[in-house]
Structure 1
Amino acid sequence: MAGDAAGADAAFARYIAAPQKDPALIEAGKALVENRIAVAEPMLREHLRRHPCDIAAIRMLAEVAARLGRYGDAESLLQRAVELAPSFEAAAHQLALAQYRQSKSVEALAGLNALLERRPDNATYLNLKAAALVRIGEYAAAIDIYDRVLAGHPGHSRAWLSYGHALKTVGRQDDCIAAYRKAIALEPGLGEAYWSLANLKTVSLTADDIAAMQGQAQRADIGDEDRFHLDFALGKAFEDAGDHEASFRHYASGAAARRRGLSYDAAETTDHVTRSRAVFSRDLLEGARDQGCAAPDPIFIVGLPRSGSTLLEQILSSHSQVEGTMELPDITAIARDLGGRKKRSEASAYPEIMSGLDGDAIRALGEGYLETTRVHRKSDRPFFVDKMPNNFAHVGLILMALPNAKIIDARRHPMACCFSAFKQHFARGQGFSYDLTDLGFYYRDYVNLMAHFDAVAPGRIHRVHYEQMVEAPEAETRRLLDYCGLPFEEACLRFHETERAVRTASSEQVRKPIFRDGLDQWRHYEPWLGPLKAALGPVLDTYPNAPP
């Protein structure tokens, strides 16, 4: 209050260092340590009602919010803590982490840079900065940081793992493999490192690798996450060896373990599709054509994971006027903000809210998207690709907010696409992919929603069937470029020669010419795919067309 910020900061620092003596806060801290969130949260809220400037309690409540996935709430609380005590490094680091988890990489980097001014060699801050740089496509800078961290901390297995991920993205496969192998040497039970090797797709694990993984999987002390990563890796190893029964057993085991840790509900997806079909009528979409942001910059590739979307992105990014970025989270974030839900149990206002927006609000959505994605654009090319597959659920939003954007629907045979997703462990965001029935329902919902937009917005979405691209790449590429309003360029047929960062599971495959191998791989597993066929229903029978 006296204006002595430095003195206040020092006092807060001493307070943080002092042992807590408030019984309520001690009990809340104990509950938090034991992960009894339902006990800790009300105690902390009551404490803060009586002591609103207690930054230790603010930080603890932010931890509660983070564990519940409410990263926006955590961010607000931590901003308050840092405002009260600018030198509270633990809170500042948590703030950067909360921002990173919301894909606010620019904001996270600003906070991390301030922390690193105080502690330039702090490996924790450097690791998070490298991860944030990867998120915005600054791979060279991230790799430089990992080099620096590992020079000082060569025994840190997970730093080697992150280093390998960054090297994979830029195509340094030999160095990437060496980094993953180093992580395994340091931590033999690190399942993610084995899965990362298997996930290179073009690399086969050896008999020695299989024996080592099986040995680690039998350990009683191995964690669930390491165990399901090992299962996915063993599934790929046995697939390469031609033992499809053993392969499926491990894929199914890994998927089941991953599914147990998720709260995905197939009915919610079906409900969203039903509501979207009701909201996004021909009249609504036509009425918004002159209201949204007129910029033609984005080219959206939507569909399901493992549908050939990375191949399409690589083809387009080989064109002199198109820049490839990555799977951007921005449209999903806009939809989430429009929904306004604080808890999963609450009803979302989206997509119904779209029908009540005026022209200024619709245009602001498109302009906001262009602003938040600008950080991912590293060249002066006029167009860029956003290949987040899940954006199919928000095609109506895109058509309204960005009416001149291009939308490409990447579609693959339902059995091939769904099984390829089933045997893939995704880092995040694809909760439907770990159960064959969920997968079938999800694919069916996707087809139904896209069929709706074919009817109410004819000609505005371009569909590419993966099988046709494999059979007639030049004809399909020309058709794709025509839709995008781009002249044909030979480089698009030599996409595998294009040097660019690729973050998805297909990163190594798209650095090679188109191949037919993936078309029928699912047939080796057909005896075990009955639940998938049943869930797909008529969508399987009518492919490549949608059911009437």
Structure 2
Amino acid sequence: MSAAPISARLAAATRDPQLLRAALALHQNRLAEAEPLLKNHLKADPFDVAAIRMLAELAARIGRTRDAETLLRRALELAPDFGAARVNLATVLYRSNRAAEALAELDRLVLESEEDDNPNLRAAVLNRLGEFEQALALYEDTLERRSDQPRVWMSYGHVLKTVGRLGEAVAAYRRATALQPGFGEAWWSLANLKTVRLDEADIAAMEQALAGKGNTPEDRFHLEFAAAKAWEDAGYPARAFASYSAANAHRRALIHYDAAETTGRVDRMIAGFTQRFARGPAGGCPAADPIFIVGLPRAGSTLVEQILASHSQVEAIAELPDIPELWSKLGGADGKGNPHERFAGLSADELRAIGEEYLRRVSPQRKTDRPLFIDKLPNNWLYVGFIRAILPNARIVDARRHPLSAGVANFRQHFARGQHFAYDLADLGHYYRDYVRLMDAFERVCPGAVYRVTYERMVDDSEGEIRALLDGLGLPFERDCLEFHKTERPVRTPSSEQVRSPIFRQGTENWQAYDQWLGPLREALGPALVAGDQP
């Protein structure tokens, strides 16, 4: 292993023909070509930190986040002063929803260099941690020094949207599109402000960008999603659906998702919690702090969160990654073990320890002294049995929406990460069917452990449903919950502007404009469509 300074080691890497070919392949996204070049090089020189970092970048691009983290930590073990690798590690941690760890890596960089060379990443991390004013200040300082950075303008717009400064968010997004007219993600960020309507000039600008030859795949599908929303707002459902279909097809081509794998996971989860609770109470941590809101995205979970966050006893935090991560940890450090087998054998003390670990992990996110907090990660529906075992006194709310309405709402939405089931109508139908199947099975095993809120009923009888929700969760009625749209708080999800307005019926009816094209969704839903509450 070389003890040469990191600068000399990196300079040597730039003269290596094999690494140069790998770097070019990475730059051109020819990952299948880059991977064997890097692995062969590391067989010959396993201590080359430049090659290790490049292989970590490749792993991160194809979704092998754990491998990327392991490689970057190895590079930093070999070269603790390798600043670029530490930035990459902070980025991987941030994208893995481990913002506190990412901030610690960035702080270490500042200590070593005596300056912050990554203000944009730091601002994004602070935003994730709920430190919105600090994040805004960093973005504003960066843009004051260099105002020609479209991606920074977009990120600045994201935080402005989160804190409710809508007009300034719109201006920031438009500044980004003005600087880079083909910047698809900025156009989608603008369209994704559900209360903003794009006009004919915007449609023309996006179509011109789509006609250009320099679009990346990411720019293209973002532009198509944004154009679809514009056509929808203009009253052209056929054009809108065609654009949504193209956007989803292009996004689907870039990801791996197998509906059969989800069905298999649901089968194993049902078998696991059925066996676990057949033996009686599981044990777990007795704390009653958490309220979990689960279900599909775009099914009313942010509305339920806003209603509950208007109560004096409840703090809304975020969509937290901790429950899926704690479940994954049951598979061992390498992730190759079987969490289901491990779950079946956990003792009451072990379940209690996991529940306590969850509370420790989420503690930095809590900013008030309110006794209850909301974890609103929709995908936690898959883990309701696990939640019940480790936190038996936690409250769980199932936010449910009519299957066709929920399906179309997801098909019209691009998600920054995850939710890979949402980009194909048949996948959506199978996913909804599996979700209902698991929730029904859990109700049979633990009757009354989950309180269900139906979006359409909430629209039809808001006061009655809100009163019933509070009662179902053991909370005293407070009138502020009826006036939830007046509650000022940060909201990160696509519904951020909608929940700052009174409940409206349009959200229950949007799917009807696309009904003639929903055959694959209806077929995949099968009995879940028949059982669904009709709008």
> So what's the TM-score if we normalise by structure 2?
0.94
* Structure 2 CA distance for partners of 1:381 and 1:262, relative to 1, 3 Å: same
What is the rounded CA distance, in whole Å, between the counterparts of 1:190 and 1:40 in structure 2?
A: 27
Alignment correspondent of 2:104: 110
Contact in 1 for aligned 2:13/2:50 (Cα 8 Å): no
What is the correspondence of 1:78-97 to structure 2 with a 5 Å cutoff? 78-97=72-91
What is the rounded CA distance, in whole Å, between the counterparts of 1:165 and 1:120 in structure 2?
A: 29
- Deviation, 1:224, is 1.7
* Structure 2 CA distance for partners of 1:256 and 1:52, relative to 1, 3 Å: closer
- Deviation, 1:228, is 1.2
What is the rounded CA distance, in whole Å, between the counterparts of 1:44 and 1:115 in structure 2?
A: 27
What is the rounded CA distance, in whole Å, between the counterparts of 1:194 and 1:40 in structure 2?
A: 32
What is the correspondence of 1:385-404 to structure 2 with a 5 Å cutoff? 385-404=374-393
Alignment correspondent of 1:303: 295
- Alignment equivalent of 1:460, drawn from 426, 440, 449: 449
- Deviation, 1:438, is 0.7
* Structure 2 CA distance for partners of 1:32 and 1:425, relative to 1, 3 Å: closer
* Structure 2 CA distance for partners of 1:308 and 1:536, relative to 1, 3 Å: same
What is the rounded CA distance, in whole Å, between the counterparts of 1:537 and 1:367 in structure 2?
A: 40
- Alignment equivalent of 1:362, drawn from 343, 346, 351: 351
Single out whichever of 27-36 and 327-336 deviates more from structure 2.
Answer: 27-36
What is the rounded CA distance, in whole Å, between the counterparts of 2:507 and 2:448 in structure 1?
A: 29
3-state DSSP class of the match of 2:507? coil
What is the rounded CA distance, in whole Å, between the counterparts of 1:21 and 1:232 in structure 2?
A: 43
Letter in 2 for 1:266: A
Single out whichever of 315-324 and 225-234 deviates more from structure 2.
Answer: 225-234
3-state DSSP class of the match of 1:507? coil
What is the rounded CA distance, in whole Å, between the counterparts of 1:436 and 1:342 in structure 2?
A: 34
* Structure 2 CA distance for partners of 1:25 and 1:436, relative to 1, 3 Å: closer
Alignment correspondent of 1:166: 159
Letter in 2 for 1:133: L
What is the rounded CA distance, in whole Å, between the counterparts of 1:374 and 1:176 in structure 2?
A: 29
- Deviation, 1:509, is 0.3
Letter in 2 for 1:314: Q
Contact in 2 for aligned 1:411/1:466 (Cα 8 Å): yes
Alignment correspondent of 2:433: 444
3-state DSSP class of the match of 2:292? strand
Alignment correspondent of 1:76: 70
* Structure 2 CA distance for partners of 1:44 and 1:230, relative to 1, 3 Å: closer
3-state DSSP class of the match of 1:280? helix
Task: Give per-residue Cα distances to partners, 1:431-471, cap 9 Å, x unaligned.
Answer: 11111111111111111110000100001110011111111
Does 2:49 match 1:55? yes
- Deviation, 1:172, is 0.1
3-state DSSP class of the match of 2:5? helix
What is the rounded CA distance, in whole Å, between the counterparts of 1:42 and 1:154 in structure 2?
A: 40
What is the correspondence of 1:343-354 to structure 2 with a 5 Å cutoff? 349-354=338-343
What is the rounded CA distance, in whole Å, between the counterparts of 2:438 and 2:169 in structure 1?
A: 39
What is the rounded CA distance, in whole Å, between the counterparts of 2:25 and 2:253 in structure 1?
A: 24
Does 2:466 match 1:474? no
What is the correspondence of 1:128-527 to structure 2 with a 5 Å cutoff? 128-281=121-274, 284-285=276-277, 287=279, 289=281, 291-340=283-332, 349-527=338-516
What is the rounded CA distance, in whole Å, between the counterparts of 2:288 and 2:445 in structure 1?
A: 21
* Structure 2 CA distance for partners of 1:370 and 1:186, relative to 1, 3 Å: same
Alignment correspondent of 2:60: 66
- Deviation, 1:76, is 2.7
Alignment correspondent of 1:4: none
3-state DSSP class of the match of 1:133? helix
* Structure 2 CA distance for partners of 1:184 and 1:467, relative to 1, 3 Å: same
What is the rounded CA distance, in whole Å, between the counterparts of 2:455 and 2:30 in structure 1?
A: 48
Letter in 1 for 2:327: A
* Structure 2 CA distance for partners of 1:515 and 1:37, relative to 1, 3 Å: closer
Contact in 1 for aligned 2:13/2:19 (Cα 8 Å): no
Contact in 2 for aligned 1:288/1:359 (Cα 8 Å): no
Letter in 1 for 2:238: E
* Structure 2 CA distance for partners of 1:60 and 1:152, relative to 1, 3 Å: same
* Structure 2 CA distance for partners of 1:208 and 1:18, relative to 1, 3 Å: same
What is the rounded CA distance, in whole Å, between the counterparts of 2:498 and 2:507 in structure 1?
A: 11
Alignment correspondent of 1:5: none
Single out whichever of 483-492 and 83-92 deviates more from structure 2.
Answer: 83-92
* Structure 2 CA distance for partners of 1:300 and 1:53, relative to 1, 3 Å: same
What is the rounded CA distance, in whole Å, between the counterparts of 1:148 and 1:48 in structure 2?
A: 41
- Deviation, 1:26, is 5.4
What is the rounded CA distance, in whole Å, between the counterparts of 1:434 and 1:50 in structure 2?
A: 42
What is the rounded CA distance, in whole Å, between the counterparts of 1:198 and 1:29 in structure 2?
A: 36
Task: Give per-residue Cα distances to partners, 1:404-428, cap 9 Å, x unaligned.
Answer: 1111000111111110110111111
What is the rounded CA distance, in whole Å, between the counterparts of 1:23 and 1:222 in structure 2?
A: 30
- Deviation, 1:81, is 2.4
Task: Give per-residue Cα distances to partners, 1:216-261, cap 9 Å, x unaligned.
Answer: 1111222221111111111111111111111111111111111111
Task: Give per-residue Cα distances to partners, 1:16-69, cap 9 Å, x unaligned.
Answer: 334556666556556555555556555645654564443233323322332332
Contact in 2 for aligned 1:72/1:102 (Cα 8 Å): no
3-state DSSP class of the match of 1:299? strand
What is the rounded CA distance, in whole Å, between the counterparts of 1:67 and 1:216 in structure 2?
A: 25
Contact in 2 for aligned 1:291/1:362 (Cα 8 Å): yes
- Deviation, 1:385, is 0.5
